[in-house]
Chains A and B, each alone.
Chain A
Amino acid sequence: MSVYGRVRVGVMNYILGRPLVRGLVTRRSDEVDILEDVPARVGEMLTVGRLDTAIAPIAVILQAPGVDVVPGLGVSCDGPVQSIRLFHKAPLSELRRVALDGSSRSGAMLARIVLERFEGARPEYVGRPPVLLDMLADCDGALLIGDPALTAPTDLAPHVDLGELWKRRTGLGFVFAMWGLRPGLSQQKRERIAELLEWSLSVGEEELEEIVVEESARIGLPPDEVRAYLGERIRYRLGPNAMNGLKLFTRLAVEQGLLPPDAGVRWLSSSPPRALGRRVREGATARGRGEEGSLAALLEHGNLLDLGAAADELRFRLHPEPVVTYVVDRNINYTNVCVSGCRFCAFYRREGDPDAFVLTTDEVLRKVGELVDAGGTQVLMQGGLHPKLGLDWICALVRDIKSAYPSVDVHSLSPPEVVHYARTEGLPVRVVVERLREAGLSSLPGGGAEILSDRVRGAVSPHKCTADEWLGVMREVAAVGMRGTATMVFGHVETMAERAEHLLRIRDLQDETGVFTAFIPWTFQPANTDLADLPPAGGHDYLRTLAVSRLALPNVPNIQASWVTQGAAIAQLALRFGANDLGGTMMEENVVAAAGCRFRVSVEELRAIAEEAGFELRQRRTDYGGA
């Protein structure tokens, strides 16, 4: 590898840094240069671009413009940690002068939050080298961080472990440092580095015992202590407890004026943790034959809690913040006339049936207006495959909506409707999609995917587009620069192998195009359909399939939980089985006067569901950006 390709990596010169860089140091010295220094210095060198990546203190990470952060990895604790100790000669609330080791600003911030916010102290702070005796000579408090804290004499003054104190007061973990990436790196290089770092830590975890032996000799601590410190107290993988702790720390630091109001983490986007997804799939499916077979085995026999834990881990890698999103939307069914005659559908009518309808433009606009008045952003407009309504008609409708309500996202139609228009107009799918985009369509919902297997489709929806046609529409959607979602309706006549095939076809198209913003699996609802004699899929099958979906599709950013088909209880659980989104509020078609009321109730319910499960609920737009 050329010298220009070398990766410059910064790490703190404390023993807690060793497991993080173990793989790099022992196996990749031809590819990386490693710089060790005190945390503050490492962070500074990252922000000025002298390092490509560094395990930087959160004080730096939270306010470094342009520094992206690798999700899921870092240095944290969840209770006593020993390497951040505040020695005090007076009660904490009465301290007047506290000596801080300037080598860690994050530790200093934590000390200030603990002293001022939790204890009500108002001390003066002075910077000092980390020598306890000197620090306590003219100060009544002294903060030690890192190895100096680990090896400090404990008989000079009483001390508190700030990791333990933070945990006691907040119940949360504390994140000390995370991997930042220098501004200006190419996306390819960022992803390469993120993979290297993940791999390097896994080497460190495997070789922990060797690290313990080396470091205990070097630093002069018994191996048992070093083992407990590196193996238990320090946590290198950041779970929800650590992320919630980071969130609280950020807020408290901002409130106390220690960080600017816009402080926050900028996550490395689209860091597809393929390695993780692959590892989970391979590990969990060693008995399977090909990938399809192994996914099918997981769907059939996978242990529910193991799959949940793996999906949850991947979910937090992709979405490091404990946030669950939803969109305020309205379903508008512009017609119930349909030529498709799917056996699982309870909604559609034939033209000429007494209760067949087509909405007028005014009716549609009134509904969109009500949505906008209620704070909604997304129109989910779907209809039957009406034999007479043409492409011009639907394009005019979309155009009218966008000109009346330009801010609304028209997330409407579905691949079978696009195929229907292409057939009835005699136009290529590309042209239909292009015209819809020009009319103002924002994104194409992935309805009608059912199970992407022609055997299954032949059995349940013989007149609907084929699996290849469905995927072909999405390919064209990507080609014209739009995005869409993917769905799966399971629990009817499909086999587990066919469910697996569906997931793999979605993943392949996503690898090819990146078209999908989200994957939305839900269970077939048999009531009032030709298939009413099928037993409904249970909660166990739903959660297992959801978790397998998350694992099988590491390249699809979002997974939706379906509270409409599963109910609030299962939807809440789904948040720990891979789902990070609760979908739309689905303002009711037929509820007009009471619509506002009903909608507010729904959002409150969603909020309660999310918060009790440990997440913040956040409204999003159709593209999964902030509302």
Chain B
Amino acid sequence: MPGNVESGTTLDRPLTGDVADLEEKVLAGERLGLADLVRLYRTPDILALGRMANRVRERKNGNRTYFIVNAHINPTNICVNECRFCAFSRSAGADGAYAMSLEEVRERARALRGRPLSEVHVVGGLHPDWPYDRYLDVLRAIREELPEAHLQAYTAVEVAHIAERGGVTVERALRDMVEAGLGSLPGGGAEVFDREIRSALCPRKLSPEAWLDVHRTAHRIGLRSNATMLYGHVETAEQRADHLARLREVQDETGGFLAFIPLAYHPENTPLGGKRASGYEDLRNLAVARVALDDFDHVKAFWIMLGLKMAQVSQAFGVDDLDGTVVEERITHSAGAETPQALTREELVGLIREAGREPVERDTLYNVVRHEGADP
């Protein structure tokens, strides 16, 4: 049968693609289009991706690699959304379901006192019963215990849920949260913006338009936020490219995003199952994002997701931020991340220095807390 080799068995895996022309565009500071990004997602020339991403990274952040001393509090894992890629959420009453009382949140925060924390990161499930004020009280409790720490709390998905619980607009909810201590929004819940994927994997989740609107609104009232993409499940190169392009559009408009963080899908203990993306895919997603999002200052990799060796290498593939020394973190670990749960400051600084970068401790807004210098 005459055939298009593309559809036959002869070429059923991703093919090599030369991307020298795109490398030139990036060097010249030109913005890449959707088709360009799709090619970057498909090329196995990982070294070319690294060169491009590194160029943009060094243009924006020089030789610095940022980290933050922070802690995570996940107040509940009870969630009404039941996204198929999530290993963290539980239905109310299910095995392993938990919801911290306000006093438990307060204790958790109190236990962090005395540490040189600059940020507390708070995300959790969409609890079916918690009233509006409960979410504000969580913020107040943490702020009272840790008045110096910046509170980065509630993804856009949670913000929309909380607003709905309170019967108020997103803007009202955000203003109330700021009053209760909120400093900025994390970037979770973006997943992949494509409609088909969302109806297959997370049909109940906030729509992409609404997710972007929460961030727009936040930016308008002066809050900064992060953005993410969940990769390595069923999404295509085109859908990834589209996701980045939509973020780039909002950022052009508001300039309110601080960092983009590609999140690898961790399949263990999720209804969706499947395989964890490879090292190539991890670096590719970081590098393509760095090249695509020319209006974002930072691309962040969670070392806890990548593993220490890959996190170190990622600094040559567009990453300028390795997140933090994490005191407690639950979400990735439910899905089988095998990295240690916490790293000391010395270990993180050493890891950055060994890659030839200058470790810089930052606060949430990327103000320098302490510049460690290139070499001890």
Whole-angstrom distance between the alpha carbons of A309 and B51 in the complex? 10
User: Which residues of the partner chain B approach A120 to less than 8 Å between Cβ atoms?
Assistant: 2-3
* CB-based contact A541/B354 at 8 Å: yes
Residue A608, interface by CB 8 Å: yes
**B44 to A, closest residue via Cβ:** A614
Name the A residues within 8 Å of B42 (CB-CB). Answer: 171
> Chain B 1-43, CB within 8 Å of chain A: the 1/0 string?
0111110001101111110000000000000000000000010
Closest to A121 in B: B2
Report A167-198 residues with CB < 8 Å from chain B CB. 169-173
B5 surroundings in chain A (CB, below 8 A): 117-118, 169-170, 248, 252
Cβ B309 vs Cβ A570 within 8 A:
yes
How far is it, in angstroms, between the C-alpha of A305 and the C-alpha of B46 when the chains are bound? Answer: 10
A611 contacts B355, CB within 8 Å? no
A572 touches B10 (CB 8 A): no
Find the residue from B2, B11, B51 having the highest chain A CB count within 10 A.
B2
Least Cβ distance of A426 to chain B in Å? Answer: 46
Task: Specify which of A118, A305, A608, A612 is in contact with B54 (CB 8 Å cutoff).
Answer: A305
- Report if B273 contacts A (CB, 8 A): no
Complex Cα gap A248–B283 (Å): 27
Q: Check B308–A538 contact: CB distance below 8 A.
A: yes
Q: Is the CB of A251 within 8 A of B356?
A: no
Which of A169, A240, A611, A613 contacts B4, CB < 8 Å?
A169
Across the interface, name the chain B residue whose C-beta is closest to A537: B354
Residues of B within 8 A of A566 (CB): 309
Asked whether any CB of chain B lies closer than 8 Å to the CB of A272, the reply is: no
CB within 8 Å of A: which B282-319 residues:
282-283, 307-310, 312-313, 315-316
> Which residues from B are CB-within-8-Å of A116?
2
A11 to B310, CA, bound (A): 47
Whether B279 lies near A244 (C-beta < 8 A) is no
Residues in chain B near residue A79, CB distance under 8 A? 18
The yes or no answer to B351 lying at the interface (CB within 8 A) is yes
Contact partner of A572 among B280, B312, B351, B354, CB < 8 A? B280
The answer on a CB contact under 8 Å between B15 and A570 is: no
Flag whether B50 is at the interface (Cβ < 8 A).
yes
Determine the chain A residues whose CB is within 8 A of the CB of B308 once the complex forms: 538-539
Contact A569 B4 (CB under 8 A): no
Across the interface, which residues of B come within 8 angstroms of A614, CB to CB?
16, 44
- The answer, yes or no, to whether A225 is at the interface (CB within 8 Å) is no
Known contacts being A119-B2, A576-B46, A613-B280, is A539 close to B309, with CB within 8 Å? yes
Asked whether B203 is an interface residue with its Cβ less than 8 Å from the other chain, the reply is no
**Which A residues lie within 8 Å of B54 (CB)?**
305
Query: Which residues of chain B come closer than 8 Å to A542, judged between CB atoms?
Result: 309
What A residues does B347 contact at CB under 8 A? Answer: 535
Query: Are B355 and A538 neighbours in the complex by a CB distance under 8 Å?
Result: yes
Contact present for B47 and A312 (CB under 8 Å): yes
| B341 CB-CB contact with A under 8 Å | no
Q: Size band of the B side of the interface?
A: 35 or more
A287-302 CB mask vs B (1 if < 8 Å, else 0) is 0000000000000010
B269 part of interface (Cβ distance < 8 Å): no
Cβ contact of B356, chosen from A170, A252, A301, A573, cutoff 8 A: A301
Task: Decide yes or no: A304 and B307 within 8 Å by CB, A170-B11, A172-B16 being known contacts.
Answer: no
B283 pairs with A171, CB closer than 8 A = no
Q: Are B50 and A305 in contact (CB under 8 A)?
A: yes
Please judge, given known A-B contacts A173-B18, A573-B46, whether A540 and B312 are in contact too, CB under 8 Å.
yes
A308 to B2, CA, bound (A): 41
With A78-B18, A171-B15 known to touch, is A569 a contact of B2 (CB < 8 Å)? no
* B351 lies within 8 A of A538 (CB): yes
Q: Is the CB of A535 within 8 A of B46?
A: no
If the complex has contacts A170-B11, A573-B313, are A612 and B3 also in contact, measured as CB distance less than 8 A? no
- What CA separation (Å) do A611 and B316 show in the bound complex? 23
* Residue of B whose beta carbon sits closest to that of A301: B356
CB of B350 within 8 A of chain A? yes
Q: Do A609 and B310 contact each other (CB < 8 Å), given the known contacts A251-B10, A304-B316? A: no
With A244-B15, A309-B47, A566-B309 given, name 18 new contacts (CB 8 A): A78-B18, A117-B2, A120-B2, A120-B3, A169-B6, A172-B15, A172-B16, A301-B356, A304-B355, A535-B350, A538-B309, A539-B308, A540-B313, A569-B279, A569-B309, A573-B46, A613-B44, A614-B16
* Residues of B that sit less than 8 Å from A by CB: 2-6, 10-11, 13-18, 42, 44-47, 50-51, 54, 278-283, 307-310, 312-313, 315-316, 347, 350-351, 354-356
A-B contact pairs, 26 of them (CB 8 A): A78-B18, A117-B2, A117-B3, A118-B3, A119-B2, A171-B17, A171-B42, A173-B18, A241-B17, A248-B11, A304-B313, A304-B316, A308-B47, A535-B347, A535-B350, A538-B351, A540-B355, A541-B354, A567-B309, A569-B282, A572-B278, A573-B313, A576-B47, A612-B44, A614-B16, A614-B44
